[in-house]
Structure 1
Amino acid sequence: MTMHFSVLASGSTGNAFYVETEEQAFLVDAGLSGKQMEALFTTIGRDMSKLSGILVTHEHSDHIKGLGVVARKHKLPIYANEKTWQAMERSIGEISLDQKFTFDMEEVKTFGSLDIESFGVSHDAAEPMFYVFHHEDQKLVLVTDTGYVSDRMKGIISNADTYIFESNHDVGMLRMGRYPWSVKRRILSDIGHVSNEDAAVAMSEVTGDRTKRIYLAHLSIDNNIKDLARMSVEQTLQTKGIITGEQFSLFDTDPKKPTELVMV
């Protein structure tokens, strides 16, 4: 009994994540167009109509752009907390009542042998939350879109097999970049996004003996580069006594191409 996953798309332009067990298959967010979402599923050799449901993290468009289209086409259940439902209803269009489900923050829902645990993050959305997937003795954590990683979050996400972890921006690139100061201030704030270095510090505090893979996710298209993110994370981890490649490996994600479908 194993759990597999793919980061279908990750970045400031759109986000989607797929996870499956033998009996269940879930999409987390649908932040690209319906057509793009279908193409991503084709790339990993999966059928969107076979999904058990879609989990929503928050209402920002790079997470829900194709949500309504995909859910209506394949008649899929959508899971989100009440405040997120209220915040996104206008954006996603009409969803029939039998497809609308509430998934509260800090709740665990069980789908066969898969337990899905939600936890709150610090981001400028109505009630943003991400997910931990527990299956048999496997633990998979998805955490992006947070201004910082709180002690409470660290307790929930500690010692997972695999992390999909935000590494949004290089602080120097952001400060020197073309964004207006109000946007820069928002990104750098406690309700924005974590930088490469801050992500690495948090990783050093939550990874454990079982951790094998970390995927650097939600990279800003304007304020980060894959090589720079990996180098910054590796260097910061090294100052904490962690040599990547020995305890765990780092992987890239992409805004347009899915990662290989692999076991947790």
Structure 2
Amino acid sequence: MSDDSLKVSVLSSGSGGNCTYIETPQHKIIQDAGLSGIKIERLMKSIGKDLKDVDSLFVTHEHTDHAKAVGILARKYGMNVYANDATWKAMQRKIGKFPTEQKFVFAPDSTELFGDLDVESFSVEHDAAHAQFYNYHHNGKSFVIVTDTGSINDQIEGIIRNADGYLFECNYDTDMLMNGDYSYSTKMRIQSPTGHLSNVAGTEALMDIMGPATKQIFLAHRSHHNNTKSLARLTVASMMKNNGLGVGRDFKLFDTDVEKPSDLLTL
């Protein structure tokens, strides 16, 4: 019997770098390449996969922790790269040259069909040229990645509601951020609608959008200065349990890390 499932591994997630692997029977893709090429190669091998088999790379925005190795991977492995027009223009100098036939414009708030994988883009508010994230659909299952936004509006909620799996931002603890050594302007930027979601705000957004289909939630893009793995998990789990949600029973929460990939999970 053939395996027609949607599989996911969060290779790296945090303020130090981001990269996620997604697999269907017809496609092996990654979203973002925010670490060195060598590190991404090693992370892939640690889950039993090889970058030479990856056919596509979807880029969310030009910030280094999401786009550092885009050019390197495109040149070395010949994979197709997708980003919206504003992101292409913003990251062009950073990523260097590679063949034009590997470059594709993925318009914001649109859906592209790739055989057995439908990819739906949606714009978010972030201090980048035009950040957009993606909802991946295969065989009745969906996996949504949402980080690098300070707010979730009604339009986004409609697109990402009741997904089977989420990679969702819990970037900072508010007390740690405000009591830390960042400048006041940086603290305000992080907390702004174009900054990042806190543990509390991320949980509130998740509780608004998750539904009966939701079985896997990865807590993502954690700040190494203003958050801890245990604090993020405690905040999310406590708030959800207090709202009557079946943490650990109806769905699972997973930590993510910059240096250690998650297991390759089937949705």
- Asked whether the two chains share a fold, i.e. TM above 0.5, the reply is yes
Give 1:156 deviation, angstroms. Answer: 0.5
Paired residue secondary structure (2:162) = coil
Paired residue secondary structure (1:95) = coil
Q: Is the 8 A contact 1:234 1:243 kept in 2?
A: no
Q: Deviations over 1:103-144 (max 9, x none)?
A: 011111111111010001111001100010110111111111
Q: Answer yes or no: is 1:102 the counterpart of 2:105.
A: yes
Cα distance in 2 for partners of 1:243, 1:75 equals 43
Letter in 1 for 2:202: A
Aligned pair count reads: 264
In structure 2, the partner of 1:186 is: 189
- Report matched runs for 1:237-248 at 5 Å: 237-248=240-251
Give 1:246 deviation, angstroms. Answer: 2.6
Cα distance in 2 for partners of 1:239, 1:262 equals 27
- Report matched runs for 1:134-213 at 5 Å: 134-213=137-216
Letter in 1 for 2:56: G
Give 1:244 deviation, angstroms. Answer: 1.1
Paired residue secondary structure (1:106) = coil
Q: Is the 8 A contact 1:216 1:250 kept in 2?
A: yes
Give 1:50 deviation, angstroms. Answer: 1.1
Give 1:209 deviation, angstroms. Answer: 0.6
- Report matched runs for 1:15-164 at 5 Å: 15-164=18-167
In structure 1, the partner of 2:235 is: 232
In structure 1, the partner of 2:263 is: 260
Q: Deviations over 1:64-83 (max 9, x none)?
A: 11111111001111100000
Paired residue secondary structure (1:200) = helix
Give 1:85 deviation, angstroms. Answer: 0.2
Cα distance in 2 for partners of 1:134, 1:82 equals 23
Gaps of 5+ in 1: none
Give 1:239 deviation, angstroms. Answer: 3.4
Give 1:252 deviation, angstroms. Answer: 0.2
Q: Deviations over 1:145-201 (max 9, x none)?
A: 110111111111000111000000000000001111111110000000000001111
Q: Percent identity?
A: 46
Give 1:240 deviation, angstroms. Answer: 2.6
Letter in 2 for 1:66: A
TM-score by length of 2: 0.97
Cα distance in 2 for partners of 1:249, 1:37 equals 26
For the aligned residue pairs, the C-alpha RMSD in angstroms reads 0.8
Give 1:243 deviation, angstroms. Answer: 3.5
Paired residue secondary structure (1:134) = strand
Cα distance in 1 for partners of 2:47, 2:238 equals 32
Runs of 4 or more, structure 1, over 4 Å off, are none
Cα distance in 1 for partners of 2:91, 2:243 equals 40
Cα distance in 2 for partners of 1:172, 1:107 equals 38
Cα distance in 2 for partners of 1:218, 1:81 equals 22
Letter in 2 for 1:260: D
Q: Deviations over 1:61-102 (max 9, x none)?
A: 000111111110011111000000000000001121111100
Cα distance in 2 for partners of 1:237, 1:187 equals 24
Gaps of 5+ in 2: none
